[in-house]
Each structure stands twice: as C-alpha cells, then as structure tokens.
Amino acid sequence: MSMSLIRALITRDALQSSKPLMLFKSLRTRIINGDDALPPLFVPNPGQLREILSALADHATSEYLRNMADDDRYTNVIQKWLRSFAKDPEEWEPAIVPMLRV
C-alpha cells in the first residue's frame, strides 16, 4: 500500500463518514486465524503520519473520532505511535503536534 492510497482515505469527504475502518484497516496489525499477527499494510514515516494526523484533526467528524476512541483496534494503533514518539522524539517530532490536535 502506498501513501497515495492512504491520501484517498484522509480527504475531507472520506473523513465525513463515521467509520474509521477503511483507514485503520491499513494502519493496524492484522490478526489472521485469531493468533497470527501480520504487520500493517502501511507503516507511515514521520512526515506521512503528520499528514494523516493533520487530516484527522482538520476534517474528521466528532462521530468519527468517537468511533476511533471506542475501538481497541484503533486505539492500539495510536498507542503504538505514541510509543514511537517517546522512543525517538526528534525523529517523530513532525507528527507530535498533529497527534495532540486529534
């Protein structure tokens, strides 16, 4: 998966839905057969993550954000990003401020 495909999922129109599934389906660890974990289809670098988080902060509806917060699949992705920030804040600096806005 490429950032161009992710960009289609973070447009103003796409983020007006109440379902974060399509975006986070690509960003989360995939579980196969209940046990086997596969890496995400897309792992953003700091600049790409900044773009994703900025779009969420600017365009996602309250319902979209609430659905993100109410589902462990999505909060686990955010938790992973926060851990990356803590491990290497200089590298991830571009994405930290947008994360705080979401």
**pLDDT tens readout for residues 20-54:** 888 999 999 888 877 778 889 999 999 999 999 99
Which domain, by its residues, includes 67? 3-101
Q: How far apart, in whole angstroms, are the C-alpha atoms of residue 99 and residue 81? A: 9
pTM of the predicted protein model: 0.88
Low-confidence winner among 16-20, 42-46, 96-100 (lowest mean pLDDT): 16-20
DSSP string for 13-46: TGGGSS--HHHHHHHSPEEETTTEEE--S----H
CB atoms within 10 A of CB 61: 12
CB atoms within 10 A of CB 52: 24
β-strand partners of 36: 32
Task: Look at the chain and report how many structural domains it folds into.
Answer: 1
